[in-house]
Amino acid sequence: MNTTRVAALLVAALLTGCTSLRPDGGFTPVQQAAEQRLDKQLIWARDDAARNQIAERVRELLAAPLELDAAVQLALLNNRGLQASFEQLGIGEAERVQAGRLPNPGFSYGRLEKGSEVEYERGLHLNLARLVALPMTSRLEGRRFEQLQRQTSLAVFELASETRKAWYEAVAAEEGLVYARQVLDAAEAAAELARRLAAVGNFSKLQQAEQQGFYAEAGIGLLRAEQVRVRSRERLTRLLGLWGEQTGYRLPERLPAVPETAEELPNVERLAMSQRQDIQSVRLDTERLAQNLGLTRTTRFINVLELGVVNNRSNEEPTQRGYEISVELPLFDWSGARVARAEAQYRQALNRAAQTAIDARSQVREAYQNYRNAFELARHYRAEVLPLRQRIADENLLRYNGMFISTFELLADARRQVQAVDGYLQAQRDFWLARADLDMALVGAPNPSLVATSAVAAEPADAGH
């Protein structure tokens, strides 16, 4: 290594060592991703002003019945788990800056006495190996921080997706509870009618028992509907980060109507490959490990290289000045194991990247097919089953008024109509859940647990180095 190259490396290290903390802590790319893909606002609650802004926005959103977009916005602002992921950005930013700082020099001082002679020894030492490797280690930390930003963006998208699904389930549960109460009221009236008809001899005991059984089943259905409502609403409440009086928020009475046509995505795999955050994250991880492998080979024989300036002074001898270089001799450890470890990590990353791409293609195909199937099922209920059941009910009512069928037959048809309506409500809910899963599959791996994402974001800074 000639003098010019050493000087260039030192200049690069000095420039790298000027790295400073950014005012936004690396939050801006995450914020921009949320605005572009979700059209939603993100706020990092790092001070009282930001926290007050979030609190005011939460009050505004809760003042009216919580529509879907408002629920997603509320979760992105108020979910504490997401705020914890933002703090991980601050930790990663600090580690990135720390990796780019110049190593501190070392100072030594000694005083030796030999009879009347007193010798003073002073030394100034600098870890030259760390200084030479500083630009490369700074780039490695920069890539790791970019990966952390993508993981945080993925956590934002996942929270938005889970909130959408929880909102659909909560609204469907509210609608199902209202319908279950209507069914119970109708069943109670039918049971009372059956009792009166049986009392005057116009209904058999078997027919009366069947109506009483339907009434009992309707009561069970109402209890289950109430359980589903509580479970789905509490899940939504957790995602929204609400507590206390805030948990009394209102929801719409009905789900949005299923659209007339399903969205056509002929190139769904290509679209997912171009924008999925997990694909881009694993690519950055592989590049980081490749850089790490290069660094391992570069520093293989200069693990400990220090440059020092020596100043020895004695009260009886002239002052001695000079320099010293210390280097670790690779007599026993040639760093072969460390290089082999880095190479194995790189091959591991390549295989993981390939598997991630395979999984992503499969996930998005599955999500799109589920979306289309759910649409066809809901459309079939809306266009075929419900109108047919309504026509049958109308015809049976006319036949009953004309005394062509009995009350028992009319009530039996009513039970079949109840089943058809309940099936449509479930199909409508499943369609919107499938739509949310497809949206998530296009930007990242679907994951029902936000805890898993937070755990990935909170890995130690030197993991995989």
Q: What is the dihedral of CA 310, 314, 316, 317, to 10 degrees?
A: 0
Q: What is the dihedral of CA 23, 25, 28, 33, to 10 degrees?
A: 180
What pLDDT score does 356 carry?
Answer: 84
Instruction: Report the predicted TM-score, pTM, of the whole model to 2 decimal places.
Output: 0.75
What pLDDT score does 451 carry?
Answer: 32
Instruction: Tell me the CB-side half-sphere exposure of residue 231, using CA atoms within 13 A.
Output: 8
Determine the Cα–Cα distance for residues 25 and 197; give it in Å rounded to an integer: 76
What pLDDT score does 162 carry?
Answer: 94
Spell out the domains of the chain, with CATH numbers in brackets. Answer: 3-457 (1.20.1600.10)
Q: Would you give per-residue pLDDT tens digits along the chain (465 residues)? A: 455 554 554 455 454 445 677 777 888 889 898 888 889 999 999 889 999 999 999 999 999 999 999 999 999 999 999 999 999 888 888 888 877 777 777 777 777 777 677 777 777 766 666 666 677 777 777 778 887 888 898 899 999 999 999 999 999 999 999 888 888 888 888 888 888 888 888 777 887 888 888 889 889 999 999 999 999 999 999 999 999 999 999 999 899 999 999 888 888 888 888 888 788 777 777 777 777 666 555 554 444 444 555 555 555 566 656 655 555 545 544 556 777 877 787 788 788 888 888 888 888 999 999 999 999 999 999 988 889 888 888 888 888 787 777 766 777 777 788 888 888 999 999 999 999 999 888 887 765 433 333 333 333 333 333
DSSP per position, 398-428: HHHHTTSS-HHHHHHHHHHHHHHHHHHHHHH
Please, what is the end-to-end C-alpha distance for the chain in angstroms? 27
Determine the Cα–Cα distance for residues 320 and 324; give it in Å rounded to an integer: 12
What pLDDT score does 13 carry?
Answer: 47
Determine the Cα–Cα distance for residues 351 and 278; give it in Å rounded to an integer: 14
What pLDDT score does 196 carry?
Answer: 86
What pLDDT score does 459 carry?
Answer: 38
